[in-house]
Structure 1
Amino acid sequence: MSTSTGDPTTWGARNAHDPTVVRGDDGLWYMFSTDAAAGFDGIPVGAHVRTSPDLVTWSFQGTALGEVPAPAREWSGAAGLWAPEVVRWPTADGSTRWHMYYSASTFGSRTSAIGLATAEHLAGPWTDQGIVVATRHERDGHNAIDAAVTFDRAGRAWMIYGSFFDGIHIVELSLETGERVREEKGALIARRPSNVDGAIEGAFVVYRPEEDRFVLFVSYDSLVDTYSVRVGVADEITGPYRDAAGNDLTDPAAEQAAVVGTKILGGHRFPGGTGFIAPGHNSVFRDGDATFLVHHVRLADAPTQHEAQIRRVHWTGGGWPLVSPHPYAGLDAETLDAPASVSGTWNAVRYAPEEAKLIEAETVHLVAPLVSAGEAVAGELALTAASGDAILDGVVFGAWDPVAQSAVLAFAGIDAAGVVWTGSQQVTS
């Protein structure tokens, strides 16, 4: 992490780690994130807040809490707050109440705490309500950080949490208090073997009514250079979660450590573009019928620099969530002037699950009787590439190509082995 951060008002989405995005009653989008670089150059502590009118341009607004609340600080010794999860909480009288679940810890330690703060408005003021779950390094196998909240079919609230060590757990929360219903660590839903240091964290679960199942997003490996986002699905919120190849995310053998979990985003570079490494610790949010994934990422050529990116999530006919190859630039920017045929030449990335480092895009050819001007169209895609051919359960959609500086047709698809491809059409002058 760079210790030379400059003026936060110039950051935009830079220096945002572990982001989550929600929409306020004032119409603005709010991004909450780890207080990256807190303490350097006068950067404040206490969960950073940004706002945006369009999910593209972000303005730094300061911190939600201004400090590490005393109970969490005394328990963990934390100097800053990590991975704030913010959710509109259901209330009996319909009044607005926001819950922020924040993490307090230090690197490499299981002496950690997830605390709760509440507010009537996203802009605050936020009031600390104390610790929801805490762990001790000498006592506990799991680690109380990286909270995410979701609701099941019946409207019950659940908190997903955990980082490295003993994996990802899920525990039910009281709708009245936001605290745990029972004093337990909860069910295990994902973990990784010791030969990769148990490297898993930043989990997030969404319910997908179209398939009546739950989708787990989770990050593998190191936030410094090899992060990737993996997914698994389950019929029940407590699991078991399985990837597209049918592997259970709680029980990977050592030899399967790299390949279990369907990889939907990793380090990549398109021709002439910026190389991105270590995309991860995502959350998912919706705007009407549109689904978005927000994550942080580092620049391959300047890895101490990191930023938050937002990407559209599109769903295949088989119900798999796949993400745009390019960051979101606004709906109008992703709409083509006229419908385009899918059949043709593309730049594409194959997200080989065993490849932890940056993957360079390759030229591929697609054949499909599909056309789109930017709207998502699901269907079978026949792909031909030097690295091999594949039939994909795919979806095509519009995206903004930052190199061509134009709207292009993009695609994402998953092959019979559960490997994901994504890319955009080559632009000819």
Structure 2
Amino acid sequence: MRHKYFLFLSVTLAALLLIGCNNDDLEPTGITVKEDEDEVTDTTYTIPTYADDYAAMASWNDRSDWNLANVHDPSVVFDGDYYYMYGTNASYGNAHDGHGHFHGRRSRDLVNWSYMGASMSVTPTWVKDTLNSMRDAVGLAPINNPAFGHWAPVVRKVGNVYRMYYSIIIDNLIGNGLPWSEENFDNTWTERAFIGMMETTDPSSNNWEDKGMVVCSVSDRGTDWSRSSTNDWSGYFKYNAIDPSYVVTPEGEHWMFYGSWHSGIAAVQIDSDTGLPLHEFDINDESTWGTHIYTRTNGSRWQGSEGPEVMYSEETGYYYLFLAYDGLDVPYNTRVTRSENVTGPYKGYDGASVTNGGDVYPIVTHPYKFNNHSGWVGFAHNAMFQYEETGDWFYASQARLPANTGGNAYSNAIMMGHVRKVRWTEGGWPVVMPERYTGVPETEISEADLAGNWELITLRYEYRTQQTSVALTLSANGEATGALTGAWSFDEADNVLTIGNTKLYVEREVDWEASPRELTLVFAGLNSSGVSLWGKKTQ
């Protein structure tokens, strides 16, 4: 198997969320931006009313109303007018099938998003040709109709060009070349994945020119691609060529990070002029595969971490590596580690290097549930980007509804895009707000505004478990009781709430769980172990 998308989805869910099929013979998608909504200049604030459960409007014919429905593994880039978001082909009920790949949408305000269509109409011919050339070199028959999957692009602006690095997996067995299934299993692993790149100078056109292969999955095991059984997780490939990310150093070096599960994450230096590896990539020369960056479990060839997203902060001087942990259906959670150097060593909250093994803290997001809502699971594989008007950082990812929400057996395949504001702790770590961003006017917050009843969630790691809220009360006399205890105070200049020794970063946001939705106050911070604390005022 190439990736946990297939490892953790049940047979029923996989039928709904089939993202590894080859449907290139079907029609491409044209641009379908709703200009009447995109060009609105009225800045009057309104609370979003669209439903979190979008099953009733999930079909292809409803795409102009999707907003952030059917978002998965997003990447966001700004062109001076719009924020553009692209992602994996995944969609509820397979709505994207037959309509191209790496679907995009755009927004002026990070709240209202218009669907644009696919950025790639058909899989580039070089993928099949390169695959079969590599197979021929080791005596394997060609695969005439590869089972492609189109996953997890990253988009960056480099000079005057926008570059999209994308993942295409081949879900066919190496030995017999048949599509992966229990029935076809021949005691070999599935084929390699490829990362390619395409460019445009105008993302509004949604016309991209493909530039070919950047890297592919690589193995240090030669022609020993045998797999003893479907329970054998000692993967054939050392680095899995999916989930690219991209960062430019202050010195002007360009680096692409990639990898998932298998042996972890690697980074390849990129030629800024071509967008391709600075040093020629060779599947037979391990020195060209990239610098090893991160491993969750030392010595493991199958470990629950993927989706690297790398950013550099001028304010802190650190590179931050965000990672998605575990399976995407329920347990998906986001971690972050950091380094003073682009190639590491990356260190967690305790200061220890995780390059050669170690669970990463802080926990940034985790399955959770406030009162009066089903809550969210499968909450990771994020993008990080800055809001042009303020310089604030934002976190974007998908989150899924739990199974059987509203009586829908397939609700775990409902994936909503979440865009959330990020604040930074005194120690230079990012914390993500507990409610989605809606552009609430940033009016002054006073100490008196904080007094009252709150819900607090501690995002401690529990596999496949939603963390639930505990009551917290901030009394008008400066005492906190319930989930946190001690004296509390508020720094109105920086919007920082302190309870005992814990600092919590306050924002105005929407209470998405209330009915009807209403404005409220929220906070996010870290406890002494590097676990996020999320709070929401309820009255």
Q: Deviations over 1:124-160 (max 9, x none)?
A: 3100000000125646411011001111121211111
Q: Deviations over 1:94-115 (max 9, x none)?
A: xx21111010004684601110
What code does the residue aligned with 1:239 have?
Answer: G
Aligned match for 2:267, one of 170, 173, 193 = 170
Aligned match for 1:185, one of 286, 289, 306 = 289
Distance (Å, rounded) in 2 between the aligned partners of 1:49 and 1:105: 20
Q: What residue number does 1:128 align with? A: 210
Distance (Å, rounded) in 1 between the aligned partners of 2:302 and 2:154: 25
What code does the residue aligned with 1:191 have?
Answer: T
Q: Does 1:345 align with 2:453?
A: yes
Q: What residue number does 2:429 align with? A: 320
Give identity over the alignment, percent: 28
**Cα contact 1:110–1:142 (8 A) shared by 2:** no
Q: Does 1:105 align with 2:169?
A: yes
Q: Does 1:6 align with 2:118?
A: no
After TM superposition, give the deviation of residue 64 of structure 1 in Å: 0.6
TM-score by length of 2: 0.70
After TM superposition, give the deviation of residue 11 of structure 1 in Å: 2.2
Q: Deviations over 1:75-107 (max 9, x none)?
A: 4635342111111112xxxxx211110100046
Q: Deviations over 1:38-77 (max 9, x none)?
A: 9757541221011122211222111111111111244463
What code does the residue aligned with 1:297 have?
Answer: A
Q: Does 1:264 align with 2:364?
A: yes
Given the superposition, is the C-alpha separation of residues 41 and 22 from structure 1 closer, same or farther in structure 2, using an over 3 Å criterion? Answer: closer
Distance (Å, rounded) in 1 between the aligned partners of 2:269 and 2:448: 47
Distance (Å, rounded) in 2 between the aligned partners of 1:195 and 1:353: 21
**Cα contact 2:339–2:345 (8 A) shared by 1:** yes
What code does the residue aligned with 1:113 have?
Answer: F
Aligned match for 1:361, one of 458, 465, 469 = 469
What does 1:35-74 align with in structure 2 at a 5 Å threshold?
Answer: 35-37=89-91, 42-74=97-129
Aligned residue pairs total 405
SS at match of 1:279: strand
The farther-off stretch of 202-211 and 262-271 is 202-211
Q: Which has the higher helix share?
A: 2
Q: What residue number does 1:79 align with? A: 148
**Cα contact 1:73–1:104 (8 A) shared by 2:** no
**Cα contact 1:322–1:413 (8 A) shared by 2:** yes
Distance (Å, rounded) in 1 between the aligned partners of 2:338 and 2:190: 30
After TM superposition, give the deviation of residue 376 of structure 1 in Å: 5.3
Distance (Å, rounded) in 1 between the aligned partners of 2:508 and 2:85: 24
TM-score by length of 1: 0.87
Q: Deviations over 1:294-314 (max 9, x none)?
A: 001101122111121100011
What code does the residue aligned with 2:338 have?
Answer: V
SS at match of 2:87: strand
Q: Does 1:208 align with 2:313?
A: yes
Aligned match for 1:276, one of 355, 360, 376 = 376
After TM superposition, give the deviation of residue 265 of structure 1 in Å: 0.3
Given the superposition, is the C-alpha separation of residues 102 and 369 from structure 1 closer, same or farther in structure 2, using an over 3 Å criterion? Answer: same
Distance (Å, rounded) in 1 between the aligned partners of 2:125 and 2:321: 32
Q: What residue number does 1:397 align with? A: 507
**Cα contact 1:342–1:371 (8 A) shared by 2:** no
**Cα contact 1:252–1:260 (8 A) shared by 2:** no
Distance (Å, rounded) in 1 between the aligned partners of 2:352 and 2:423: 23
Distance (Å, rounded) in 2 between the aligned partners of 1:342 and 1:318: 24
**Cα contact 1:35–1:44 (8 A) shared by 2:** no
SS at match of 1:9: helix
SS at match of 2:126: helix
Distance (Å, rounded) in 2 between the aligned partners of 1:22 and 1:127: 17
Larger radius of gyration: 2
What code does the residue aligned with 1:317 have?
Answer: E
Distance (Å, rounded) in 2 between the aligned partners of 1:378 and 1:178: 42
Distance (Å, rounded) in 1 between the aligned partners of 2:202 and 2:523: 38
Distance (Å, rounded) in 1 between the aligned partners of 2:121 and 2:335: 33
Q: Does 1:307 align with 2:416?
A: yes
**Cα contact 2:165–2:196 (8 A) shared by 1:** yes
Distance (Å, rounded) in 2 between the aligned partners of 1:196 and 1:307: 31
Q: Does 1:28 align with 2:128?
A: no
**Cα contact 2:420–2:435 (8 A) shared by 1:** yes
Q: What residue number does 1:426 align with? A: 538
Distance (Å, rounded) in 2 between the aligned partners of 1:42 and 1:356: 29
Q: What residue number does 2:398 align with? A: 296
After TM superposition, give the deviation of residue 30 of structure 1 in Å: 1.1
Q: What residue number does 2:20 align with? A: none
After TM superposition, give the deviation of residue 363 of structure 1 in Å: 1.3
User: Which consecutive unaligned segments of at least 5 residues does structure 1 have?
Assistant: 91-95, 254-258, 383-390
Given the superposition, is the C-alpha separation of residues 316 and 342 from structure 1 closer, same or farther in structure 2, using an over 3 Å criterion? Answer: farther
Given the superposition, is the C-alpha separation of residues 188 and 379 from structure 1 closer, same or farther in structure 2, using an over 3 Å criterion? Answer: farther
**Cα contact 1:142–1:166 (8 A) shared by 2:** yes
User: Which consecutive unaligned segments of at least 5 residues does structure 2 have?
Assistant: 1-12, 18-54, 132-145, 172-188, 220-224, 226-235, 282-287, 406-410, 474-479, 481-486
After TM superposition, give the deviation of residue 208 of structure 1 in Å: 1.5
Distance (Å, rounded) in 2 between the aligned partners of 1:286 and 1:314: 12
After TM superposition, give the deviation of residue 406 of structure 1 in Å: 2.4
Given the superposition, is the C-alpha separation of residues 196 and 101 from structure 1 closer, same or farther in structure 2, using an over 3 Å criterion? Answer: closer
SS at match of 2:127: helix
Distance (Å, rounded) in 1 between the aligned partners of 2:341 and 2:300: 29
**Cα contact 2:261–2:301 (8 A) shared by 1:** no
Q: What residue number does 2:45 align with? A: none
Given the superposition, is the C-alpha separation of residues 43 and 400 from structure 1 closer, same or farther in structure 2, using an over 3 Å criterion? Answer: farther
The farther-off stretch of 412-421 and 311-320 is 412-421
After TM superposition, give the deviation of residue 196 of structure 1 in Å: 9.9
Q: What residue number does 2:228 align with? A: none
Given the superposition, is the C-alpha separation of residues 210 and 169 from structure 1 closer, same or farther in structure 2, using an over 3 Å criterion? Answer: same
Q: What residue number does 1:388 align with? A: none
After TM superposition, give the deviation of residue 189 of structure 1 in Å: 1.7
Distance (Å, rounded) in 2 between the aligned partners of 1:313 and 1:179: 31
Distance (Å, rounded) in 1 between the aligned partners of 2:536 and 2:112: 23
Distance (Å, rounded) in 2 between the aligned partners of 1:425 and 1:130: 50
Q: Which has the higher strand share?
A: 1
Distance (Å, rounded) in 2 between the aligned partners of 1:278 and 1:117: 29
**Cα contact 1:266–1:351 (8 A) shared by 2:** yes
Distance (Å, rounded) in 1 between the aligned partners of 2:498 and 2:347: 23
After TM superposition, give the deviation of residue 222 of structure 1 in Å: 0.4
Given the superposition, is the C-alpha separation of residues 173 and 378 from structure 1 closer, same or farther in structure 2, using an over 3 Å criterion? Answer: farther
Aligned match for 2:528, one of 411, 416, 428 = 416
SS at match of 1:51: strand
